[in-house]
Amino acid sequence: MEPIQNAFGKLIQKEGFKERYESLKEEVISHPHIQQFIEEHEEVTTSMVERSLIKLYEYIGQSVACKECPSLEGCKNMIQGYHPHLIIQGKMIDIQYERCPRKVTHDERKKQESLIQSVYMPKDILEASMASVDLGDPQRFNAILAAKQFLDEYEPGKRVQGLYLYGAFGVGKTYILGAVANALAERQIASMIVYLPEFLRELKSSIQDNTLHDKIDAVKRVPVLMMDDIGAEAMSSFVRDDILGTILQFRMLENLPTFFTSNFDFKGLEHHLTYTQRGEEEKMKAARIMERIKYLAKPVEVLGGNRRL
Ligand code: ADP
Ligand code: MG
């Protein structure tokens, strides 16, 4: 094979090379990201830019911050799930590839799923979207409106109340959670739906294998947590005070949005949480959990027929 130097030399001598080179340079320099990089780094000189032209050209051909990709699977970059970042290396500008926001969210979800089995997204709900929830349905209108309002108001770090969606079996409560979770994922905001009865069973069996703490910790810190079917679990003082109490207390202090679905309204859930008839003390403890739930989430009744029939 001909040494690369020679080949390059020939190319340079070819007709029109200079014009092509100039127009490529123009295209690179006028790119808004490159402009911004030059403005932010005083040390960048024209000769540095010229020396790094091939790298910069590679950079402008890639999608940054997922802006030009429809999804992680549809990522157009050279290395799927990685986007370029410009850095200065001596007298050159170089590219570093880092995980893109979608890939970070995806990896985070995978990690949660491998840690916590009861994090789930049923198949039909995987496809739930705010667009597909039936807005023309007056009985569900309040709940869908409240979900839309949450999505409009929420941004990471802001305190926005989640929703406590309650109503009969099959009316579409979990489906609404799925639609909210998917809408958040599109904005690269991590959320987690835990099916509470299963999660609590799982926690009890992880007391032995020392993963209990890690599991509670992952759930407690997720940016948007959705507890599906609270009230359907087997209640005990351990579940109520040590698990639910701990998670909810943390989320309250950190202003982390939390959603719930339940067959019970607040009154019914309070009764469920007062699981034994051991008198006043249990009532106080149940009331304390209810206070936290009411602080975290706004109650919205979901009406309508059973969609599973
Ligand atoms: P719930 O959690 O209230 O018991 P689900 O959310 O599981 O009810 O909904 C019951 C069934 O109806 C599910 O199969 C779900 O996919 C479907 N479903 C609910 N809401 C909608 C909707 N707006 N559009 C299409 N399917 C829906
Ligand atoms: Mg449900």
Query: Are residues 110 and 80 both part of a single domain?
Result: no
Query: Are residues 77 and 135 both part of a single domain?
Result: no
Q: Is the pLDDT assigned to residue 117 strictly greater than 70?
A: no
Q: Is the pLDDT assigned to residue 11 strictly greater than 80?
A: no
Ligand in nearest proximity to the CA of 124: 1
CA of 5 to the centre of ligand 1 (A): 64
Mean pLDDT comparison of 40-44, 116-120, 200-204, highest-scoring range: 40-44
Query: Are residues 296 and 214 both part of a single domain?
Result: yes
Domain boundary among 59, 77, 99: 99
pLDDT tier at 189, thresholds 50, 70, 90 = confident
Question: What are 278's two structure tokens?
Answer: 């051991």
Residues in the chain: 309
Q: What is the pLDDT of residue 273?
A: 93
Pick the atom of ligand 1 nearest to 302's CA.
3
Find the radius of gyration of the CA atoms of the chain: 27
Q: Could you tell me what percent of the chain has a pLDDT over 70?
A: 88
Q: Is residue 19 in some structural domain? A: yes
Q: Is residue 215 in some structural domain? A: yes
Query: Are residues 84 and 159 both part of a single domain?
Result: no
Task: Kindly report the protein residue whose alpha carbon is nearest to atom 20 of ligand 1.
Answer: 172
Number of domains in the chain: 2
State the residue range of the domain holding 9: 4-99
The CATH number for 212's domain is 3.40.50.300
Ligand in nearest proximity to the CA of 308: 1
Mean pLDDT comparison of 80-89, 107-116, 119-128, 233-242, highest-scoring range: 80-89
103-125: buried (b, 16+ CB within 10 Å) or exposed (e) per residue?
A: bebbeebeebeeebebbbbeeeb
Q: Is the pLDDT assigned to residue 80 strictly greater than 90?
A: yes
Share the mean pLDDT of the chain.
87
Name 273's Cβ contacts closer than 8 Å, sequence gap at least 6: 235, 240, 285, 286, 289, 290
